[in-house]
Chain A
Amino acid sequence: SYELTQPPSVSVSPGQTASITCSGDKLGNKYACWYQQKPGQSPVVVIYQDNKRPSGIPERFSGSNSGNTATLTISGTQAMDEADYYCQAWDSGTVVFGGGTKLTVL
């Protein structure tokens, strides 16, 4: 079965750029998306179709996907961006999530 791998944690200082990676075999040949989940809340999509932002998602969130790696980039990270982030892809009719990355803003 298809697998996606994320780093368990990433730390960033306020105002700096955070990058969260998601690795999978030939992931660049599929579309990747990213969800943000804050404690006690349901996930929210922040990037879909590799690099598209839903309405209401700040411009500081961006995405890319090439080769075996998709990347979520948060520019000018704010304290409110502290959350768990999950990548997700679709393979042969089934959905796969990465293990999640806890983003700490300190």
Chain B
Amino acid sequence: EVQLVESGGGLVQPGGSLRLSCAASGFTFSRYCMNWVRQAPGKGLEWVANIKYDGSEEYYLDSVKGRFTIFRDNAKNSLYLQMDSLRAEDTAVYYCARAPIDYGDSYYFDYWGQGTLVTVSS
């Protein structure tokens, strides 16, 4: 059974940093592109970043470029999101999500974690 379990959320002051983790199990993690998607309270879904299966390429939402870094440790079956210079508008539930192995031009998320809440407030 595929499982994605996020952790690391919490309350942080504006300008602070936080690192989110996503522990993957039930599939060969090193073969899949992985993503972070967030959802502000009462708002819609917003893709944040993704990373290729081998870590060779990363893409980011424009508003987090230069502040957030996505990385992975395939030996530990884990995905991470390092968030620096946090702003109030980064407050959201952050989901770890997997793209299917053979997505081709049809990129979507076939499995999601349960999410971890990040609150940026003084």
Contacts and interface: CB of A to CB of B under 8 A. Distances in A.
Interface of A: 1, 30-31, 33, 35, 37, 42-45, 48-50, 54, 84, 86, 88, 90, 93-100
B106 A97 contact: no
B1 interface: no
Range class of the B interface residue count: 20 to 34
A93 B106 contact: no
A90 B100 CA distance: 13
B108 A99 contact: no
B84 to A, nearest CB: 21
A70 B35 CA distance: 23
A95 B112 contact: no
13 contacts: A31-B107, A35-B45, A45-B108, A48-B106, A48-B110, A50-B106, A90-B105, A94-B47, A95-B47, A97-B46, A97-B47, A98-B44, A99-B44
Contacts of A33: 106, 108
For the complex of A and B, the 7 pairs showing the least CB-CB separation, nearest first, are A90-B107, A95-B47, A31-B106, A49-B106, A33-B108, A100-B44, A42-B112
Nearest to A41: B114
A94 B36 CA distance: 12
Q: Indicate the member of A44, A54, A95, A97 with the most B CB atoms within 10 Å.
A: A95
B109 A43 contact: yes
Nearest to A94: B59
A54 B110 CA distance: 9
A43 B106 CA distance: 18
A96 to B, nearest CB: 7
Contacts of A50: 106
A93 B59 contact: yes
A69 to B, nearest CB: 18
A95 B114 contact: no
B89 interface: no
Q: Indicate the member of A37, A45, A99 with the most B CB atoms within 10 Å.
A: A45
A54 B2 CA distance: 15
Interface string B88-122: 00000001000000000111111011110000000
